[in-house]
Amino acid sequence: MFIKIIMRFHMKIWIVYDSNFGHCKKVAETISDVLEGEYDTHVGFAKKILPEDVISEAPNAIIIGGPIYFGYPSRTIVNWIKKFYQVTKKLGTPIKKGAAFYTWSFTPKHELQWQKLFQKFPFASEFFPQVLSIKVNPSIPLLNPEECTQVNNFGEKLKQFLS
């Protein structure tokens, strides 16, 4: 048990997100808070963190999230994932585990788009089967209590997947 806890703490997890209204940033930070006691977590905005910088830290897992626009993940996060995949493939350093989350306002159920994205750019050896989906109100930049509960539950399930 003691050895497993030490190993968890030394696991490095990166959470990379895209966000225009702050919702995905809040989701990323909340997931980080849930994982932080047991894992070494880092959160980065896709427009400010390069895939090479994340890879240079040799993370064990990466969680990627972003908003859905017109039924698809944001162009920023798609381009970041594509570049991340290209760099991991070139360097021969695939990430062990990956997961995803997204926020949406008008049309639900976009898990399939994320699954297709991960099939096209398989940057991790194993992906968490659940993609967290959070419906948000674009005029309110904070998560409501129900949304926070969803994110916390997702984070707890991620702990099991990551261990």
- pLDDT at 133 > cutoff 50: yes
Which two tokens mark 70?
Answer: 């017109």
pLDDT at residue 55, as a whole number: 95
CA distance 12 to 148: 23
Asked if 89 contacts 41 with a C-beta cutoff of 8 angstroms, the reply is no
Domains of the chain: 8-162 (3.40.50.360)
CB burial of residue 87 (10 Å; 0-12, 13-18, 19+) = middle
Q: Are strands 72-73 and 61-69 parallel, antiparallel or unpaired?
A: antiparallel
pLDDT at residue 142, as a whole number: 83
- pLDDT tens digit string along 14-53? 999 999 889 999 999 999 999 998 999 999 999 999 999 9
Residues in the chain: 163
Asked if 51 contacts 84 with a C-beta cutoff of 8 angstroms, the reply is yes
- pLDDT range class, residue 5, cuts 50, 70, 90: very low
Nearest partner of 32 among 49, 47, 45, judged by Cα: 45
CA torsion angle for 112, 115, 120, 125 (degrees, to 10)?
Answer: -170
Helix (H) or strand (E) holding 149: helix 145-162
